Amino acid sequence: MIFLIVLKYPVSLNVIRKLKTGDVVYYTGKIVVMDRSVVDILEKYERYEGTKLYDLTGEIVVLGTFRKNKLQFQEMTEELLERLFLLGVNGVILERVRPFSATKRFSRVLFEPLEEIRGTRRVIYKTPDSKKLEELEVEKLVLRVVQDSSGKVYSKV
């Protein structure tokens, strides 16, 4: 029997840590969508200015950009995932499933979308070369936990 879990923004880290691999959730709230180069900008700003340009604490994030009103995912690396978790991100939505050791070390989760990600967008930050950080308001977005906070990876077998 599959139970659907309803999550609403903001999602606490305690709730994130209780999610298990294979759980399907309906998520309503904010998702942060940003180009991978914006991660560098956020880190540098905090390091040099001593304050946060944008606080990612507790957020669910997608690395990507919107082209023709459709989300284009960007590739995730272990190092980039670690940097996101160090910035306080609770969960990351990925297009492709592959194991990352950072989820266990930081007790965070990875999701995969089970439908197209759509919602109301609001640009928060834009670089001179048009790289963006956007907030996307979604309603009942269906996600699956593909790697839980213990590091267990979902298998489609």
Q: Give the residue among 62, 56, 66 at the shortest CA–CA distance from 113.
A: 62
103-150 tens-digit pLDDT: 999 999 999 999 999 999 999 999 888 899 999 999 999 999 999 999
Q: What are the backbone angles phi and psi of residue 133, rounded to the nearest 5°? A: -120, 120
Q: Is the four-CA dihedral 12, 15, 17, 22 of positive or negative sign?
A: negative
Is the pLDDT reported for residue 157 higher than 80? no
Write down the number of H helices and E strands in the chain: 4, 8
68-109 tens-digit pLDDT: 888 999 999 999 999 999 999 999 999 988 899 999 999 999
Q: What is the pTM of this model?
A: 0.93
Residue 28: strand, helix, or coil: strand
Where are the domains positioned within the chain?
Answer: 4-147
**Under CATH, what is the fold of the domain 4-147?**
fumarase (3.20.130)
Distance of CA 97 to the CA centre of its chain: 13
